[in-house]
Every structure is written in structure tokens, then in C-alpha cells.
């Protein structure tokens, strides 16, 4: 069974078929939906061609169900947080970068952080002991 992805606020399912669906807003105020791969470490993003995202700009990411801002305020404003529920029904925090084109993902369970992506070292200072970069 594959992992599910859950909104931390409304607990709604963010994964539909083969994508994790999030609502995004660009710095210029453009809004659209983005479809992310549910495979951790796969940074392919699908979106409508008219929804333009420029490399390096910081998006705001929202739950498409309850519209909660997913920004991980307590850690870093460039990271968004939601939940990954694994096949054993255990919830992990998943953090992704809100900077377009930045490739990093962190999966956190208790005090353990697994990091993925070539840009993962950018946020190394925001995590404590037990981090293996
Ligand atoms: Zn929600």
C-alpha cells in the first residue's frame, strides 16, 4: 500500500490518484493548483500551463480543502509542512521547500529526520540532533 498525505489542519486527503494536490500562490498573487509526486525525492510538478511559476520565487502553499496555509512557521518560513501516513497508519511530518525549483524534502518521525534532494543541506540548521545529512 502506498503512503497517504494528509492536511495537518483538517486531516483531509491531499493525494488523489497519483498526485499530492496543493493550492499555490505566487508572489505576484497568481493562484493555481500544483500536483506533486507522492514519491519522496521526486520533484516533478504538474500544473496548468497558464499558471506560471518562476524558478527561485517563494510560493505560498495551502491545503486545497480547508485553505490552511501550510507554512512551517516554527521551523522556517521557506518550508511547508503536511503529514504522510504510512502503510502502518503512522503519521510523519513531511517538509518541502516553498522555493520554486529548490529540491529538498524532510520526513520527520519523533526525533529522526530523513532528508532527500540535492538542496537538503540548505535547511540543516533548522533541525536538531539525530539528523543525518
Ligand atoms: Zn486542510
Q: What is the secondary structure of 13-29 as a DSSP string?
A: B-EETTEEEEEEE-TT-
CA of 96 to the centre of ligand 1 (A): 16
CA of 70 to the centre of ligand 1 (A): 9
| 0.95 exceeded by pTM | no
Residues with CB under 5 A from ligand 1 (ion): 7, 9-10, 12, 63, 65-66, 68
pLDDT digits (tens, 9 = 90+) for 3-52: 999 999 999 999 999 999 999 999 999 999 999 999 999 999 999 999 99
User: How far is it, in rounded angstroms, from Cα 84 to Cα 92?
Assistant: 5
User: How far is it, in rounded angstroms, from Cα 84 to Cα 30?
Assistant: 27
CA of 22 to the centre of ligand 1 (A): 10
Nearest residue to 100 via CA among 15, 48, 43: 43
CA of 133 to the centre of ligand 1 (A): 30
Cα–Cα separations (whole angstroms), residue 40 to 59, 77, 99, 124: 19, 21, 17, 18
CA of 130 to the centre of ligand 1 (A): 29
CA of 24 to the centre of ligand 1 (A): 13
Is the per-residue pLDDT at 131 higher than 50? no
pLDDT digits (tens, 9 = 90+) for 56-83: 999 999 999 999 999 998 888 899 999 9
User: How far is it, in rounded angstroms, from Cα 3 to Cα 123?
Assistant: 24
Q: How far apart are the first and last CA of the chain?
A: 28
Amino acid at each position: 500500500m502506498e503512503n497517504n498525505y494528509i492536511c495537518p489542519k483538517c486531516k483531509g486527503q491531499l493525494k488523489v490518484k497519483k498526485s499530492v494536490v496543493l493550492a499555490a500562490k505566487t508572489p505576484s498573487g497568481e493562484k493555481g493548483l500544483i500536483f506533486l509526486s507522492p514519491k519522496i525525492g521526486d520533484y516533478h510538478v504538474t500544473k496548468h500551463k497558464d499558471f506560471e511559476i518562476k524558478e527561485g520565487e517563494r510560493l505560498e502553499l495551502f491545503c486545497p480543502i480547508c485553505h490552511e496555509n501550510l507554512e512551517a512557521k516554527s521551523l522556517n518560513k521557506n518550508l511547508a509542512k503536511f503529514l504522510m501516513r504510512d502503510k502502518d497508519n503512522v503519521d510523519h511530518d513531511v517538509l518541502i521547500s516553498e522555493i520554486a525549483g529548490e529540491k529538498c524534502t524532510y520526513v520527520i518521525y519523533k526525533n529522526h529526520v530523513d532528508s532527500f534532494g540535492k538542496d537538503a543541506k540548505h535547511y540543516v540548521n533548522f533541525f536538531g540532533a539525530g539528523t543525518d545529512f
